Amino acid sequence: MRASLIQLSVNSSDSAEDRRDRAASLVRGRAGDDLVVLPELWTAGAWAYDRWEHDAEGLDGPTAEVMSAAAREAGVWLHAGSIVERDTNGTLYNSALLFDRAGVLRGHYRKIHRYGFDTGEATLMGGGRDIVTVSTDFGVIGLAICYDLRFPELFRGLLDAGAELIVVPAAWPAARLGHWQLLTRTRALEEQVFLLACDAVGTHGGMQQAGHSTVVDAWGTVLGEAGTAEEVVTADLDVAHVARIRSELPVLRDRVLGIEAPMGRHSN
């Protein structure tokens, strides 16, 4: 299978409509690929908190409509990054959308781990509760978003749910590029999956994005990595590689579950 990460430039001067038009054009240009991926919150800007209420939309909103059409026209599975979703109760979520080749929404994941501590996403958005995987014609995809990379238990849950590829749209800041590069390789290696991590570039909300979108295989080898400009990273993946790696180095078989530290006992 062939996968492409579209590392969009997301700048404060862009409108959501302009970004949708540009993203749709780039997706349509990937006809012949199997999977295309966009970054996190690229319509509103992941750090532009003041735009979230204005640009929030439903799962049948303008971004979903445009991305569904782009997936259908290109004949690709499209992970449309994430949007600011407003549910029927008015709660905002950072939600990833996965469309099939016919443009049907097949996966919807609400980000579980919200960044910001006591500000931003952590206070303005609700948190998801569900682990989400989707079966495709080339393998089982697990869904995660940006800050989720710092929480290995989610990725182990995706593994247990059958994931062979995990897609991570992001708006990772340039100041922590080293963490991005380390965590993407680590999550792929420890779960023995393909990991496709699509970051944004540009500056919005005062935050410069790291770029360096990357595709990592189940051995932890980087198969493709972008720089810091708007570009497309494409890699040919053999999903059967996942089963081979898990067979040749069966570390997942040796997991020991239910380990608890004894209360009140310490060892020097």
User: What mean pLDDT comes out for the span 107-113?
Assistant: 98
Q: What is the DSSP letter of 112?
A: S
Tens of pLDDT, residues 6-27: 999 998 888 889 999 999 999 9
CATH no. for residue 115? Answer: 3.60.110.10
Q: What is the C-alpha to C-alpha distance for residues 191 and 211, in angstroms, rounded to an integer?
A: 24
The domain total for the chain is 1
pLDDT for residue 205 is more than 80: yes
Which of 11-15, 35-39, 168-172, 261-265 has the weakest average pLDDT?
261-265
- What percent of the chain clears pLDDT 70, i.e. is strictly above it? 97
User: What mean pLDDT comes out for the span 44-73?
Assistant: 95
259, part of any domain: no
pLDDT band at 264 (very low <50, low <70, confident <90, very high): low
Q: H/E/C letters for each residue in 66-102?
A: HHHHHHHHHCCEEEEEEEEEECCCCCEEEEEEEECCC
61, part of any domain: yes
pLDDT for residue 202 is more than 90: yes
262, part of any domain: no
pLDDT for residue 200 is more than 70: yes
Q: What is the DSSP letter of 57?
A: B
Structure tokens at 110: 């609400």
pLDDT for residue 68 is more than 90: yes
Domain hosting residue 126, numbered range: 2-254
Q: Active-site positions?
A: 40, 111, 146
DSSP H or E stretch at residue 257: none
260, part of any domain: no
User: What mean pLDDT comes out for the span 37-53?
Assistant: 94
Q: What is the DSSP letter of 159?
A: H
pLDDT for residue 262 is more than 90: no
Query: What is residue 265's predicted lDDT score, i.e. its pLDDT?
Result: 56
261, part of any domain: no
pLDDT for residue 73 is more than 70: yes
264, part of any domain: no
Query: What is residue 267's predicted lDDT score, i.e. its pLDDT?
Result: 54
Query: What is residue 266's predicted lDDT score, i.e. its pLDDT?
Result: 55
268, part of any domain: no
User: What mean pLDDT comes out for the span 19-41?
Assistant: 98
The maximal CA–CA distance of the chain, rounded, in angstroms, is: 63
Comparing 259 with 94, the larger pLDDT belongs to: 94
> Is the Cβ–Cβ distance between 8 and 23 less than 8 Å?
yes
pTM for the predicted model, two decimal places? 0.95
pLDDT band at 93 (very low <50, low <70, confident <90, very high): very high
